[in-house]
Structure 1
């Protein structure tokens, strides 16, 4: 039962991703061809590879990049301490993020994200490899049996075995009476805010709200009170 999970071991996590380049023209010709092949059967008949790139490249680890990772961990006073890693240089971001797993506290950490098993966790692992680094140990799953991987996915918890079901974090927060994290932007706006408005801090603020919301959704699933928030996790 999730009530038995020690909350002090849970690392709540969310990432924000964008296409690897700000425009189709900046994408090397070889990658343009590979993108065309990769998405050929996903595109509607009238959509070209070029038109599809800004819409979908940000959700594919082979063609996108991470611009923000936000984490949160619970303190004894029911405060969620939050820290964000954000950088235009993805490798620097990942190096800094990876260093936190040298902490004794995170040796046996339990990762938690909404749709994390399908998106956040594999995305992080793949981008580490693409940048020439091994993923941190909690993201390495080769050779492990399913019950040896303690990752928590709030979307999976909500499904209760119904694998046809998809629910957004925003809707899940609403049904639990948690203030919405989408009071400024939503995921569809991240790429334009990053490449056009060049406002990374606005994206960081959005990501931090999502992590607080994620933690509160998990608390509600455990029939517990909402958390307070404190920035700057040491």
Structure 2
């Protein structure tokens, strides 16, 4: 079925998230108590809610999106180009900008959203944060009443599972297995909070996020048995 999907009909994306506040102490008492309850099942023995707060970015109820990077293929004759851009800044603004993209250029039914582990993380996280900010959900993220085959989402991790529900594979491992050249990584996901709040270096995070978008596109190319992107085929706009 994947071979029937045109590369030009896919919007590749990745998000980066951080805790809603720089530290646990900045939360009011109600938020602190709710975080304590929410994170209890994940914390190890003897780890307090405050100590574990650096991980709050993985939950949409206690985190926020600081950038959404997107990429799409453009063909002109035999020339192939992969264009990448990033929405960043204040969360409500970047979500509105991303929504505008989905409701204009990528509104037709044929278009699909694609991310690695997107069905469990990126897509629901974006939808939840839009609801928090009173932003109407675009059709591509509003799954209510949709049958499984009507959901316009591709997930490279799910594609690699081949029906094996218990199988988790990181994007880094998948690219290694598939022989996809891995760009030199300046940071990894565990460092995003520090780079954002302590180093105040959003540009560094955006670069990391855009690299992941390109990598997801490379995985789809491998799964479709098509040539990988060359460096000169990637255009940042």
Distance (Å, rounded) in 2 between the aligned partners of 1:91 and 1:69 = 12
Cα offsets for 1:11-31 (capped at 9, x unmatched): 001000000001111112111
Contact kept in structure 2, 1:170 and 1:181, CA below 8 Å:
no
Which segments of structure 1 move beyond 6 Å, counting only runs of 4 or more? none
Cα offsets for 1:131-159 (capped at 9, x unmatched): 11112210000011111113100000101
Number of residue equivalences: 230
SS in structure 2 of the partner of residue 78 of structure 1: strand
Distance (Å, rounded) in 2 between the aligned partners of 1:112 and 1:15 = 12
Contact kept in structure 1, 2:103 and 2:138, CA below 8 Å:
no
2:195 is matched with 193
SS in structure 2 of the partner of residue 171 of structure 1: helix
1:5 is matched with 5
Distance (Å, rounded) in 2 between the aligned partners of 1:165 and 1:214 = 18
Distance (Å, rounded) in 2 between the aligned partners of 1:16 and 1:182 = 18
1:122–1:105 distance in 2 versus 1, CA, 3 Å: closer
Distance (Å, rounded) in 2 between the aligned partners of 1:105 and 1:37 = 39
Measured on the aligned residues, the alpha-carbon RMSD in Å equals 1.1
Distance (Å, rounded) in 2 between the aligned partners of 1:105 and 1:30 = 40
Displacement of 1:107 in angstroms is 2.4
2:101 is matched with 100
Show the 5 A alignment for 1:72-151: 72-76=71-75, 77-87=79-89, 89-108=90-109, 109-151=111-153
1:24 is matched with 24
List alignment gaps of at least 5 residues for structure 2. none
Displacement of 1:78 in angstroms is 2.1
1:136–1:5 distance in 2 versus 1, CA, 3 Å: same
Contact kept in structure 2, 1:57 and 1:64, CA below 8 Å:
yes
Contact kept in structure 2, 1:14 and 1:211, CA below 8 Å:
yes
Distance (Å, rounded) in 2 between the aligned partners of 1:135 and 1:102 = 10
List alignment gaps of at least 5 residues for structure 1. none
2:176 is matched with 174
